Amino acid sequence: MSADDAAGGQPAGEGGAARPTRPRGGGVLAAVRETVLVVAVALVVSLVVKTFLLQAFYIPSQSMERTLDIGDRVVVSKLTPGPFALHRGDVVVFADPGGWLTDTPEPERGPLGAVVADVLTFVGLLPEDSDEHLIKRVVGLPGDHVVCCDEQGRVTVNDVPVDETAYLFPGAEPSQVTFDVTVPEDRLWVMGDNRAESADSRYNGDKQYGGFVPLEDVVGRAYAVVWPLSHLDWLGTPEAFAQVPGRTGVG
């Protein structure tokens, strides 16, 4: 009698023990279970990343041209401000402080499409729309004295003129309106790069917080354009504010 026969037709393992056979059937169910598990893990990881680290946002308007075009997708680091300091010149996404945004039409979707879009946006797989958020450039930190304009038509911060030509929309003036403000503690003064098309701190003085943005409303710093691929770019901190005295950042 062979070893196979002694084991009832099963190949013998070490010590004469029979090797278990792989159960037949259930391949489809196993694949489904594995797929569901992978998707669930991916969604959880994505939700954790969105909550604590990164989030995508969609650019709906021309207020940040030429830096950001309509339809661009940007990735925002939620570690700034926080573990990493926020600086003058950084581009930030923040919740509407109150009355800055007008009603925007929602994209047309069927009931199922709306649910799917909401779920994917919630976990971070789709970019946030801009119904409740804005994106602007930080010009003044808490305590800064921000004025426009000097004799050459430039914005000054703490009495230092700022050369903004590196990011302003071509031909745009630093501001079409004059202002003279001191940024309160825990607030920011923000402006769009396309100054003629940006309803920013300059135009919201009659709203809650007087046109300033509370630090607690800042979602994070936009650090990269990731879509479309032709617009792929890194959004670093410009050198325009390097000579401005005072605090260099807020965390």
By C-alpha distance, which of 43, 61, 25, 246 is closest to 140?
Answer: 246
Task: Tell me the C-alpha distance between 120 and 47, whole Å.
Answer: 10
**Site of tokens 């308007």:** 61
Residues tagged active-site: 63, 136
The two structure tokens encoding residue 70: 């309509």
SS3 of 233, please?
strand
Q: Max Cα separation, the chain?
A: 106
By C-alpha distance, which of 189, 175, 206, 172 is closest to 66?
Answer: 172
Contact call for residues 138 and 88 (beta carbons, < 8 A): yes
